[in-house]
Amino acid sequence: MRHQQIRKQLFPFSLHDLFITAGILACAVGICFLLRMADTSEGFASPVFVLAVLLISRFTTGYLFGVVASILSVISINYIFTYPYWAFNFTLSGYPLTFLTLLGASLLTCTMTTKIKEQERLRAEGEKEKVRASLLRSVSHDIRTPLTSIVGATSAVLETPGLSEEEKRAFLEDAREEAQWLIRLVENLLSITRMGDPSSQLSKQEEAAEEILGEAARKFRKRFPHIRVAVSVPDELLLVPMDAILIEQVLGNLLENAAIHGETTSQINLSVHREGQDAVFSVRDNGCGIPPKELPRLFDGTLGHSETPSGDGKRNMGLGLSVCMAIVRAHGGTMQAKNLSGGAEFTFRLPLSEKGSVQL
């Protein structure tokens, strides 16, 4: 069983590699025919096929097609491009050297390419492990703080009989707010899981953009009644191909970030308009803005708690924004953020042309 696995790793077969090999060898044969028509001298075929073998070894996986290309190249040089043409002649001087040169170049290139690909695979796996560990640390921290608050608030209500109705209500409202935040965190985690599932498909349907903005603003006002939200939509009905639930989650994350991380935010402008073949969504606030050092890493999920104000387990905005970027990209769109003279603005674009389901 182990020998079979090693053989499959070293000599894998795929139609993709077969087409690459056939295409490069066909090009080499064509170039040699053109060179022979232009010049009657011999000797040009060997370097052309050496280059072909190198390219095949580089762009295919394993050793199979590189070795096969070496053998076919030697046969082509002997049979087609060496006198007497269209006949084999194994008595030619240098024939064994040509074969060994092509085979050696093939094996060397295949070995180097295989090692490079393996190193890239290991590096990618290492990066994934780092991101996974960072995500687990971030989520663990984010979950622990609101859970502690919920336990503290409910314990105070249950274990302190002398509390007034106002005090009980305040504790329970705090517990409800923390529980709502936990629900949104779980929704983000579920979205990340869905984005990482290769079998998941994003089915888009044309939705009225104004309805999505209105629903996101309504939910936000219930949580942050002290912050004014102005919604601006075009006069004509703007239908955008989207997954309504996911885009509403994007808007909710952006609105929450503006409220929490803007610190001094008192006004948020939520808008959408058509620009060419895109629908442009914007969330603009009048808060303190985004620290310049954090702008390049806003959407990659690497912002840690140490880089955001302390004392609040919900200050980490990296997870929510990375989810936003993943959702927008799955829709075929783009996203960016910038600071304004007073506050910050997040914008994302969604294409208006429907191209069916997008692989997540």
The identity of residue 75, as a single letter, is: I
Tokens of 106: 């093939």
Q: What is the largest CA-CA distance in the chain?
A: 109
Tens-level pLDDT at each residue, the chain (360 residues): 555 655 666 677 788 889 999 999 999 899 888 887 877 566 677 788 888 888 888 888 877 888 888 888 878 877 787 777 777 766 666 666 766 776 677 677 777 777 787 788 788 788 777 766 766 666 676 677 778 888 988 998 888 888 888 888 888 988 887 887 788 777 767 766 666 555 556 678 899 999 999 999 998 998 888 999 999 999 889 999 998 888 988 898 899 889 888 888 999 999 999 999 999 999 999 988 888 888 877 876 655 544 444 434 444 445 678 778 888 888 889 999 999 888 999 999 999 876 544 444
Say if residues 143 and 182 touch (Cβ distance below 8 Å): yes
β-bridge partners, 335: 348
Whose CA is closest to 42, among 2, 12, 91, 80? 80
Cα 65 from Cα 25, distance rounded (Å): 11
What is the residue whose two structure tokens read 């989207």? 242
The identity of residue 291, as a single letter, is: P
Cα 157 from Cα 150, distance rounded (Å): 11
Q: Is the pTM of this model over 0.75?
A: no
Which uninterrupted H or E stretch holds 168?
helix 165-195
SS3 content of the chain, % helix, strand, coil (to 5): 60, 15, 25
CA–CA–CA angle 252, 258, 264 (5° rounding) = 145
